[in-house]
Amino acid sequence: MVAPAGYNELAVEVHDVRVSLGGTPVLEGVDLHIPRGQIVALIGPNGAGKTTLLRCLLGLQKTDAGQIRLLGEDHLERALPRIGYVPQRLALERSFMLSVREFLALRLPETRHWFWQRKTRIDELLGAVVSELGVGGLLNWPVAQLSGGQLQRVLIAFSLLGRPELLLLDEPTAGVDTPGEQTFYEVIAEVHRRRHLTVVLVSHDLSMVFRHASWVYALNHVVCCEGSPEQVMNEESLKQAYGIQVSPYHHHHSHVH
Amino acid sequence: MFTEPFMQRALLAALFLSPLCALLGVFVTARRMAFFSDTISHGALAGIALGFWWGLSDPTVPMILFSLLVAGAILWLKENTELLTDTIMALLLSGSVSFGIMVLSLLKGYRGELHRFLFGDLLAVGSREVWTAAALLVVLGGVIFSRLSWLTLLTAHEEMAHVCGIPVRRVNYLFVVALTFTVALSIRLIGIMLVTSLLVIPAATARNLSRNLRQHLIFSVLAGLVGGVGGTLLAYQFDVPCGPMVVLTAIGLFLISLVAGRGRQKSRAI
């Protein structure tokens, strides 16, 4: 891999990581070297190990072998406070009346006693992130009743409140309609531009990846290929990753699964 | 009614335990743990039976210990086997009830006691239980409110909670221990069969009236208090078992909240 010029520090270093789930190998010696400040996409077919890899980075999945360093730290506990994580969805019971304001308040130490604090005080402490992500109008809504696109914006706002240096997103646009998906990637690009974050996102939408990612890893139990979107998103590389003929340019939201 | 010592004890127990059950109930329902609580309460029957077997007049200690054992067994089996959670709980629920009834049936003179434990009894609440309930309310209420953000985030998304630095496993275990103590202590008053309703119904009542979690928690505690204390008073008045009366009172409140909640939604829509 030729790292883009100007980046000599790595946000994510993964060396020879191996994971088996229930006796089936899912990751068979994965290496990643993600420079700081990039938007990096992990693409690959279902069952390729993308989400498992993300879970390994977050310490949610034990590895059988290999090393992981995040933000220059060998110990995940030291890196975690500087990491933001956006899951696919919350799977919140509709019976749980958590409002968006209360949910966002859970991220800040200053608002951890939200139960006793006034709404105006909480809004003040949440600050600019709310308007940056355009979730001001949603603050009184129950989180369980948000649409896919609204929820994703709330989840990003939640992550940004922790002032992360590294943002990890797991299939962020699953359950979001096409216009919502486009807006979502534009929001991510804007957040990346303003905050100079490193963004690692697991995605299945090749056209969006092509438009917004600066580096792409095609994963199928191992890293099949990596490079700039132009380098990776050609038919030969994708065939290698997906095992079938995939066209990166005529992909009008017909997801590759 | 209020001058009778047994009634004072029963009312105090309802006053301490019903808000605690209602508070935990908001999280129990959101985390889909109602069946879990049912399994723990039925597990208590085996503890009660063993207590009588050992000749104890008050089986509270073995009852709590056996409930904790059942809760621990559920968590261990969930983490170490590939059995479905429902299967594990059905196995332990039926197993401990069968074991409890077998032991009780071998003992002479305790068969009448079974009914009291199944449906709750005003006369059964001892002063030691009242003070334990008060201590439990103070300690658990304090812990829950001081760590409300942890518990809430854990309920919303365990993995996000982990990334935010919350000790997920430890908090989960503590929640189960808190739930077990509360359920086991409430059995004397409400009974094994009905104790889960003290967790679930107030939370559902509050859900109909709330727009956010703060309101959900406050209304749930209020609904729990009215259902628990009101039901205990009515049980005395009509000389019926305490558990069913508390549950019927709580269901009455739920129906009122359902109508009131609909009315509020309509007026907001207009």
- Dump pLDDT digits (tens) for A6-46: 444 889 999 999 999 888 899 999 999 999 999 999 988 88
- Structure pTM? 0.87
Cβ contact B213–A97 (<8 Å) = yes
Q: How many CB atoms lie within 10 A of CB B92?
A: 21
Strands A10-21 and A198-202: unpaired
Q: What is the pLDDT of residue B129?
A: 84
Question: Number of Cβ pairs closer than 8 Å across A and B?
Answer: 86
Cβ contact B212–A84 (<8 Å) = no
Separation in Å, CA of B212 to nearest CA in chain A: 5
Q: What is the pLDDT of residue B110?
A: 63
Q: What is the pLDDT of residue B112?
A: 67
Cβ contact A142–B212 (<8 Å) = yes
Q: How many whole angstroms from its chain centre is CA A146?
A: 20
Q: What is the pLDDT of residue A3?
A: 47
Q: Which residues of A touch B155 (CB under 8 A)?
A: 92, 96, 98
Q: What is the pLDDT of residue A235?
A: 64
Q: Which residues of A touch B203 (CB under 8 A)?
A: 95
b/e code A62-94 from CB counts within 10 Å (16+ = b): ebeebebbbbeeeeeeebbeebbbbbbbbebbe
Q: Which residues of B touch A106 (CB under 8 A)?
A: 149, 152-153, 156, 164
3-state SS, residue B32: coil
Q: What is the pLDDT of residue B28?
A: 94
Q: What is the pLDDT of residue A250?
A: 40
Q: What is the pLDDT of residue A5?
A: 47
Q: What is the pLDDT of residue B163?
A: 92
Top CATH class, B5-262: mainly alpha
Q: What is the pLDDT of residues B56-80, one digit of tens each?
A: 877 888 999 999 999 999 999 988 8
Confidence tier at A246 by pLDDT (50, 70, 90): low
Question: Considering only A122-131, B86-95, B121-130, which range has the smallest mean pLDDT?
Answer: B121-130
Q: What is the pLDDT of residue A1?
A: 47
Which of A58, A95, A170 would you mutate first to test chain B, the one with the most B CBs within 10 A? A95
Q: What is the pLDDT of residue A257?
A: 38
The stretch A134-149 carries a mean pLDDT of: 90
Q: Which residues of A touch B207 (CB under 8 A)?
A: 95, 97
d(CA B134, CA B130): 6
d(CA B127, CA B68): 22
In contact, B30 and A144? CB cutoff 8 Å: no
Question: Considering only A167-181, B133-147, B166-180, which range has the smallest mean pLDDT?
Answer: A167-181
Tell me what ipTM this predicted complex has.
Answer: 0.88
- Higher local confidence (pLDDT), B54 or B109: B54
Q: What is the pLDDT of residues B206-247, one digit of tens each?
A: 999 999 999 999 999 999 999 999 999 999 899 888 889 999
Q: Does A158 touch chain B (CB under 8 A)?
A: yes
Whole-number percent of chain B with pLDDT over 90:
63
Q: What is the pLDDT of residue A254?
A: 36
